[in-house]
Amino acid sequence: MVIEKFTTVRSTAVPLPIENVDTDQIIPARFLKATTREGFGDNLFRDWRYDKAGNPKEDFILNQDRYSGSILVAGKNFGSGSSREHAAWAISDYGFRVVVSSFFADIFKNNSLNNGLLPVQVSEAFLQTIFDMVEADPGTELEVNLEQQQISIAGTDHAETFEINPYKKECMLNGYTDIDFLISIKDKIEAFEQSRT
């Protein structure tokens, strides 16, 4: 799998001011029957996005033309529940490259980082500022700079730094994957196995 390098993203944002968005909402279990990684974006937030007949629900954010962009901004505790990596695939496949929230569930965060989707954790106050400004003006752009670990609201003084594990940052900046790293140290893994017996 090839991971796109991540340096900076500047984009308008899609606001989803709901807390505790679980992975069953992001991608319901009945859409997990595929055996490839592609195409999950079509069913992203399926039951919030479409009615039973498959028609778009007008009140859902992804169905509103005024919001678009590659940054999803969501309420706290985003991605709780199941370990399904399909949640990260669905968000990426839809076209998002960044998810901003004031709190992320652990497994979702790992899965996102393993797929070049950057989870950016901000303070609750900053999250509220983003929601307020994006809702007031959907043309508001956010800028995410991974090298500087900074997120800002373009054209304003509003900015915050965010945390990311230095190893994971290096991976994201260069498009490296954990699996390539692990394969490169296989001799060490074999030596570890020997040392245990």
Partner 1 sequence: MAGKTLFDKVWDAHVVQEIEGGPSVLYIDKHLIHEVTSPQAFAGIDARGMKVFRPQNTVATPDHNVPTIDQHVTIHDELSRFQVNKLTQNCENHGIELYGLNHPYQGIVHVIGPELGITQPGMTIVCGDSHTSTHGAFGSVAFGIGTSEVEMVLTTQCILQPKPKKMRINVEGELAKGVTAKDIILYIISQISTSGGTGYFIEYAGSAIRSLSMEGRMTICNMSIESGARGGLITPDATTYEYIRGREFAPKGEAFEKAVQQWESLKTDEDAVFDRELTFAASDIQPMITYGTNPGMGTKISGNIPAESDIEASGQKSFKKSLAYMGFEPGVPLEGMPVDFVFVGSCTNGRIEDLRAFSAFVKGKKKADNITAWIVPGSKQVEKQAIEEGLDKVLEAAGFELRQPGCSACLAMNDDKIPEGKLAVSTSNRNFEGRQGPGARTMLASPLTAAAVAVTGKVTDPSGLIQ
Q: Which residues here bind partner 1, judged by CB under 8 A? A: 1, 17-20, 22, 24-25, 28-30, 32-37, 47, 52, 75-77, 80-86, 88, 103, 105-107, 110-111, 114-115, 124, 165-168, 177-179, 181-183, 185-186, 188-189, 192-193
Q: Which long-range contacts (CB under 8 A, 24 or more apart) does 59-62 make?
A: 61/14, 61/15, 61/16, 62/14, 62/94
Dist. CA 197–CA 189, nearest whole Å? 13
11 vs 102, beta carbon nearer partner 1: 102
H or E, element range at 10: strand 8-16
53 vs 157, beta carbon nearer partner 1: 53
Q: How far is the CB of 20 from partner 1 (least distance, A)?
A: 5
Q: How many residues are there in the chain?
A: 197
CA dist list (Å): 162 to 2, 102, 137: 25, 11, 24
Q: How far is the CB of 60 from partner 1 (least distance, A)?
A: 13
Dist. CA 21–CA 75, nearest whole Å? 8
Q: How far is the CB of 50 from partner 1 (least distance, A)?
A: 10
12 vs 88, beta carbon nearer partner 1: 88
Q: How far is the CB of 16 from partner 1 (least distance, A)?
A: 12
Q: Do 133 and 67 touch, CB atoms closer than 8 A?
A: no
64 vs 83, beta carbon nearer partner 1: 83
